[in-house]
Amino acid sequence: MKSLIKKIYNSSKILKLRNTFGIKKNPIYLGKLKKNFYISDSFLWRTDNGFVTKFAFSDILKYFYQKKCLNFIIKFYDQDSLFLKDLIIDPLESKELIIDNKKSEFKNYGYFQIFSKLRNGSIDENLSNRCYVGYSKNNQNFSFVHGNSYTKAMSLIENENDFQSNLVQTSLTSNQNYYIQNDFKNLDYFELFFINPVNEKISLKIKDKDKVDINPNSVYKIKLKNYDLVSFKSNCCFLRPIVFCYKNGYLDAHHA
Amino acid sequence: MNFFFFLKDKNYSFNLTIPKFTNEGTNLKSLNLYSLKISKSENLTYWHCEKIAQSEEKFFKIDNSQYTKNTFFFIASEKILNQLFNKEKTEIRLIKNFLDTTPPFRANTKIFKNDHGFSSYQSEYPISMIMKKGSIATPVNMLLNPEAEINKIFFVNIFFKPVEEKFKYYLIDFKLKKILYSEYIYTNNVNIINLDKKYIKENIFFVTKDYLGIPIYFSDLNGHLSLEHTHPPHEYIFGKKKFQIIKKFKEDFGEIINKENI
């Protein structure tokens, strides 16, 4: 009986109502994942305007479980969530990856997700490789940010291809406020990159700007200047942009 | 409740921006900003706390030229302040349900180089971390740049007792099960660790055995800067046995340290 109530309480529709009316809000729900899922953020890559992206990840199965990883699977998408390619990386290879525009598919910007497969066996948990992404402009130093959300999960069992998405929750109305806790005054300008983490269209209203819709799993970029405080409203319960700040030709990337 | 800090290093400038609002937009203008540092009288070492006057509307701004190294900051009401310490101010007490937001209430910690670049990250030091001892193990290579002229780790520790106790950090090769380097650092300090690029490799971990803290990774290439922290291991695992798994992971490093220290 207790587990049935819990199941109803955490069902998608009830979660949506809870998040809409602010009753025990749960912006990210991982309860529907059984064991052996590898959860990824949607990490931003960009090659526009002289940018190169560096991705750094680690072999968490080796470190935490002393188990052998079969491979890492990195799935690349463009800004409209059009699938670009899978990159399969052997665990003995480098855990750093450079994304630049030398390869024709990486034009402009988009996102990628990382999953991993276990060589035989299983574990009793779910894992999330939080990872780090660096952004270099005009071949200068990489400005790093860490992974910040949980977007999609894939089974880490060798021959299973189960996926779970919509881990981030939405509400029925655009009543989810977020105020970035930083002062953007005195910058030349700054850019915000929002990656829609769910398989449905979401709305976004940034301060005095017009409301926009972001298509499922797509990237929305906006350039701003002359703001001190930036806030936005959405129906997405966990929407955190990556922030690129510019001043005198220097760059600072951080998550919001 | 969270504490905040600025970094300090002679070649760079730093500042700290603490918002007067939560990330959901709740106005916090009625709260005060306080500095916190260790003070000593003849018989007693205690926490010295001072209210800082601020005129800005939306943010509290702190610049490193105004304060000595190892000064920490927090925002609170008078009521919270009165609950925060024991009578002698020799201990910080755990405050629950104050500015506990999702994601956490954060400030912006920024580093500048004169006539060059800047970098920042959204920072906080949770009060729950202040109350505990513990160990950390985090990879060195992920956020540093072997091509940069300067790589550093700022290791921030805040402990509830006002003591500057010496303890060691280790650079350990997880694959070779070997300590590559170790040095003393201090509690209640923003410790600056200059890192040789030979240590920026896969399988090399920054490890402490006695105290928790936040390692913040910094690199400088031609005045273009990067500043970011790594995630603690418990953010990688979801399941009932997660703390057992992390304990075992950290014990592996503990064994390497114990073996080499014999």
User: Would you say residue B55 has pLDDT above 80?
Assistant: no
Chain B CB contacts of A58 below 8 Å: 139, 142, 202
CA distance B28 to B107: 14
CA torsion sign, B243 to B245 to B250 to B254? positive
One-letter identity of residue B163: V
Q: Which residues of A touch B19 (CB under 8 A)?
A: 179, 181-183
Say whether both B192 and B243 belong to one domain.
yes
What's the pLDDT at B68?
83
How much is the pLDDT for A200? 96
- Residue of chain A whose alpha carbon sits nearest to that of B242: A125
- Cβ–Cβ below 8 Å for A143 and B225: yes
Q: Are A141 and B220 in contact (CB under 8 A)?
A: yes
Give CA–CA dist B107/B105, Å, rounded.
7
Kindly identify which residue of chain B lies nearest to residue A249, measuring between CA atoms.
B117
Q: Name the token pair of B29.
A: 């203008």
Chain A residues touching residue B116 (CB < 8 angstroms): 250
Q: In this structure, what CATH number is given to the domain that contains residue B157?
A: 2.60.290
Domain assignment present for residue B231? The answer is yes
- Beginning with the edge strand found earlier in the chain, give each strand of the sheet holding A83-89 in spatial order: A43-46, A109-118, A69-78, A83-89
Tell whether B54 is covered by a domain. yes
Find the CB nearest A143 among B103, B119, B222.
B119
Q: Which of A169-173, B62-66, B178-182, B197-201 has the lowest mean pLDDT?
A: B62-66
Count of structural domains within chain B? 2
Residue B54 has pLDDT above 80, yes or no: no
Which uninterrupted H or E stretch holds B251? helix B242-261
Burial grade of A165 (CB within 10 A; 0-12, 13-18, 19 or more): middle
Interchain proximity A247–B225, CB inside 8 Å: no
The CATH class that applies to domain A176-255 reads: mainly beta
Of A124, A179, A231, the CB nearest to B241: A124
- Does the beta carbon of B17 lie under 8 angstroms from any beta carbon of chain A? yes
Is the domain of B249 the same as that of B145? Answer: yes
Query: So what's the pLDDT on residue A12?
Result: 86
B9 belongs to a structural domain: yes
| Chain A partners within 8 Å of B108 (Cβ) | 181-183, 254
**Using CA atoms in the order B17, B23, B27, B32, what is the torsion angle rounded to 10 degrees?**
-40
The pLDDT, as a whole number, for residue A238 is: 95
Q: What is the mean pLDDT of residues B217-242?
A: 93
Minimum Cα–Cα distance from B123: chain A residue: A181
- Residue pairs between chains A and B whose CB atoms are closer than 8 Å: 145
What is the torsion angle, in degrees rounded to the nearest 10, for the CA atoms of residue B238, residue B244, residue B245 and residue B251?
A: 150
CA distances from A215 to A168, A204, B150, B228, B249 (A): 15, 11, 42, 30, 41
pLDDT tens digits along A61-108: 999 999 999 999 999 999 999 999 999 999 999 899 999 999 888 999
| Averaged pLDDT of chain B | 92
Q: Distance between terminal CA atoms of chain B?
A: 41
Q: What is the mean pLDDT of residues A146-171?
A: 94
Q: Residue B125: pLDDT band by 50, 70, 90 thresholds?
A: very high
Closest-CA residue to A73 (of A56, A85, A60, A82): A85
Q: For residue B255, count CB atoms less than 10 angstroms from its CB and return exposed for 0-12, middle for 13-18, buried for 19 or more.
A: exposed
Residue where the block lists tokens 């590559």: B180
Owning domain of residue B251: 128-261
Predicted confidence band at B262 (pLDDT cuts at 50, 70, 90)? low
State ipTM. 0.89
Highest CATH level, class, for A37-164: mainly beta
Mean pLDDT for B10-24 is: 92
In a domain, B47, yes or no: yes
| pLDDT, tens only, B37-53 | 999 998 999 999 999 98
Residue B46 lies in a domain: yes
Which pLDDT belongs to residue A104? 84
Could you tell me if B243 lies within 8 Å of chain A, comparing CB atoms?
no
Lowest mean pLDDT among A24-38, B73-87, B129-143, B248-262: B248-262
CA distances B239 to A132, A148, A150, Å, are 23, 19, 15
Q: Establish how many alpha carbons lie within 13 A of residue A238's alpha carbon, considering only the half-sphere containing its beta carbon.
A: 22
- Does residue B133 sit in the same domain as residue B257? yes
Q: Map out the domains of chain A as residue ranges.
A: 37-164, 176-255
